[in-house]
Amino acid sequence: MRKMNSFGIIFLGFLALAVSAQAQLKLGFYQQTCPKAEQIVLDYVKKHISNAPSLAAAILRMHFHDCFVRGCDGSVLLNSTKTSNASQTEKVANPNLTLRGFGFIDGVKILLEKECPGVVSCADIVALAARDSVVTTGGPSWNVPTGRRDGIISNVTEANNNIPPPTADFRNLTIFFANKGLNITDLVLLSGAHTIGIGHCSSFSARLYNFTGRGDQDPALDKFYAVKLKQKCRSLNDNVTFVEMDPGSVRTFDLSYYQLLLKRRGLFQSDAALTTNAPAKAYIAGLLSGPPQEFFRQFALAMEKMGRVEVKTGTAGEIRKQCAFVN
Ligand code: HEM
Ligand SMILES: *[C@@H]1O[C@H](CO)[C@@H](O)[C@H](O)[C@H]1NC(C)=O
Ligand SMILES: *[C@@H]1O[C@H](CO)[C@@H](O)[C@H](O)[C@H]1NC(C)=O
Ligand SMILES: *[C@@H]1O[C@H](CO)[C@@H](O)[C@H](O)[C@H]1NC(C)=O
Ligand SMILES: *[C@@H]1O[C@H](CO)[C@@H](O)[C@H](O)[C@H]1NC(C)=O
Ligand SMILES: *[C@@H]1O[C@H](CO)[C@@H](O)[C@H](O)[C@H]1NC(C)=O
Ligand SMILES: *[C@@H]1O[C@H](CO)[C@@H](O)[C@H](O)[C@H]1NC(C)=O
Ligand SMILES: *[C@@H]1O[C@H](CO)[C@@H](O)[C@H](O)[C@H]1NC(C)=O
Ligand SMILES: *[C@@H]1O[C@H](CO)[C@@H](O)[C@H](O)[C@H]1NC(C)=O
């Protein structure tokens, strides 16, 4: 009996190992099944991002949004359809979310389906393209273990509940990130993605015009910077105009986002919030006191960590034929 038990335990141990081994991402997952997959993504990024550099930021942000809703499973890419699992998809979430670059991902997918049909997931395409996009902006590279499977559910309410709003304070930001297994260090590092890309006035104009509902300004925002922003965003209701988040180096992945934060020139309340917590602020100061390569190294690790959030592997989900629709 005792023997049986320990055998049983060992057997279960092996089973658990087998299941978890199967359920893990791995580097070069497509090496046998689609050896050119990663090169095809890289070539596509190089070709298209040089014509439209602002796309790099869009793809990086898309990866973040994908991972924060149902894990990195490509659900962010799904179009609304009549089926109940995709009736109101993440894409139609809060208009303020203004994601871009869906056509870009569809374009890579078409090439990959030609090369090896039904093999490479849309979730992996987003993860790989985000990494390659950052590299094209002068940022770091990181490991992208692959083998993510595509989800079959996309739900607008879940997007609104899981994507932190630009109005979030530090406490709320930590909760949004902790819900995804990410800590304060990850929060500070990943927010560094705002070194590239744009923000629409609607994401921050309350800071300029009506912060507490008395026609006031956010006192945490540098006054001179506020004047400049108001010249671009002429009213509280402007939802068309956008500004560079990291003016002057919007296309370069560097440390200047953190420099701006310490000058009270972070664009969103969520950016400014990172300096309201002493350990986070100290961490930012530490990043700024080191060489950019150290930030790059840490950012890379945080991205790899984010890319593992709630992934589907093995036989979960599916490999979509078209990224905008479940099979
Ligand atoms: C910490 C919480 C975060 C909040 C509240 C936040 C919020 C926002 C907002 C409001 C915008 C501008 C959208 C617009 O008005 O067009 C934006 C842009 C962007 N975000 Fe974040 N974000 C956060 C974290 C992240 C993370 C973790 C990443 C990636 C690792 C990221 C990458 C980007 C990029 C690259 C852009 C520019 C997109 C473009 O140019 O189209 N953000 N973010
Ligand atoms: C998905 O919907 C968007 C509009 O939200 C549209 O532009 C796009 O063409 C659709 N994608 C496909 C593959 O039909
Ligand atoms: C909707 O999602 C559920 C749960 O994952 C799944 O069992 C069902 O097959 C899905 N329905 C469709 C039409 O994809
Ligand atoms: C932008 O503002 C205009 C005018 O106020 C409004 O009609 C439109 O619905 C808004 N668009 C979004 C995406 O909020
Ligand atoms: C979407 O998610 C919300 C919140 O979890 C849930 O209440 C709702 O039923 C879901 N919608 C669909 C169509 O599954
Ligand atoms: C923080 O989250 C709570 C609960 O969702 C919400 O009521 C509150 O308004 C949020 N505060 C800020 C500053 O975002
Ligand atoms: C956050 O997690 C990383 C490992 O993923 C770790 O190196 C770092 O020290 C953690 N930060 C905090 C504040 O716990
Ligand atoms: C857009 O963001 C602004 C400021 O954060 C907010 O007041 C507004 O309600 C948001 N619009 C929508 C449609 O959610
Ligand atoms: C500012 O906010 C207050 C309270 O929400 C509102 O009554 C007022 O109309 C807003 N002002 C403008 C210009 O939108």
Nearest ligand atom owner, CA of 206: 8
Look at residue 12 and tell me whether its pLDDT is greater than 50: no
159 and 186 share a domain? no
Q: Could you report the per-residue pLDDT of 194-231, keeping only the tens digit for each?
A: 999 999 999 999 999 999 999 999 999 999 999 999 99
Does residue 325 fall inside a structural domain? no
Please name which of 72, 94, 309, 278 lies closest in space to residue 203, comparing C-alpha atoms: 94
- Which protein residue has the closest C-alpha to ligand 3 atom 10? 85
126, 66 Cβ separation under 8 angstroms? yes
Q: Is 124 found in the same domain as 25?
A: yes
Which of 29-33, 80-84, 103-107, 295-299 is least confident? 80-84
CB environment 140-149: b (16+ within 10 A), e (fewer): bebebbbbbb
217 inside domain? yes
What is the share, in percent, of the chain residues with pLDDT greater than 70?
A: 92
Is the per-residue pLDDT at 20 higher than 50? Answer: no
Q: Strand locations in 181-223, DSSP E?
A: 198-200
Going from the Cα of 244 to the center of ligand 1, the distance in angstroms, rounded, reads 12
pLDDT at 5: 52
- Token pair of 176, please? 């949004």
Which residue of 76, 78, 79 sits with most ligand 2 atoms within 8 Å of its CB, as the best mutation to test the pocket? 79
130 & 184 share domain: no
The residue nearest atom 5 of ligand 4, judged by CA position, is: 237
In this structure, the answer to whether residues 220 and 281 fall within a common structural domain is yes
* Residue numbering of the annotated binding site for Ca(2+): 66, 69, 71, 73, 75, 90, 195, 246, 254
Domain edge (last residue) among 137, 164, 191:
164
Whether 210 and 128 map to the same domain: the answer is no
Instruction: Please give the residue range of the domain that contains residue 274.
Output: 170-303
Confidence of residue 23 (pLDDT cuts 50, 70, 90): low
pLDDT, residue 250, reads: 81
Would 54 be classed as within a structural domain? yes
Residues that constitute the known binding site for heme b: 194
Q: What is the pLDDT of residues 68-119, one digit of tens each?
A: 999 999 999 999 999 999 999 999 886 557 899 999 999 999 999 999 999 9
